Amino acid sequence: MATNNIFVNLPVKDLEKTKEFFSKVGFEFNPQFTNEQAACMVISDSIYAMLLVEEFFHSFIQSTKKEIVDATRQTEVIVALSADSRDEVNELVNRALEAGATPYNEPVDHGFMYAWSFQDLDGHLWEIVYMDQNAAQQ
């Protein structure tokens, strides 16, 4: 089976503020797929977040007749990203909080797994997780 790319599409109110926020968190953008309506945030070699101005995002869902969720009041998805260490979890979440994110949960330590979450500027939930594979198998 071929490796597939994942594109998570998220509506945002202010694309420039959102790009500035995620740049401070440590993410980069692919300029080939970034313009005034959308920004392609590179999460890994095969995972991307397409940050779409709400009006542009709505053009993708018009046929469904669904409304865009207000992520500051409802939750539709939690974007969970893996980290290589507990320190990396803390560093990424702390950078997000310093850049203007809102805390979502306190850090959760299950011994073999450590996670911490934040809400971005639009209220989307991001959970950063480190899992010690050796400890999880015991």
Residue 97 maps to which CATH number?
Answer: 3.10.180.10
Residues 6+ apart with CB under 8 A from 58: 11, 68
Has residue 1 been placed in a domain? Answer: no
Has residue 22 been placed in a domain? Answer: yes
Structure-token pair, residue 135 = 């400890």
Has residue 130 been placed in a domain? Answer: yes
Instruction: Report the number of distinct structural domains present in the chain.
Output: 1
Check residue 68 and report its DSSP letter.
Answer: P
Which residues constitute the domain of residue 91?
A: 6-136
Render pLDDT for 17-61 as a digit per residue (tens, 0 to 9): 999 999 999 999 999 999 999 999 999 999 999 999 999 999 988
Has residue 103 been placed in a domain? Answer: yes
pTM of the predicted model as reported, rounded to 2 decimal places: 0.90
Is the pLDDT assigned to residue 82 strictly greater than 90?
A: yes
Has residue 96 been placed in a domain? Answer: yes
Q: Which of 61, 73, 45 is nearest to 11 (CA)?
A: 61
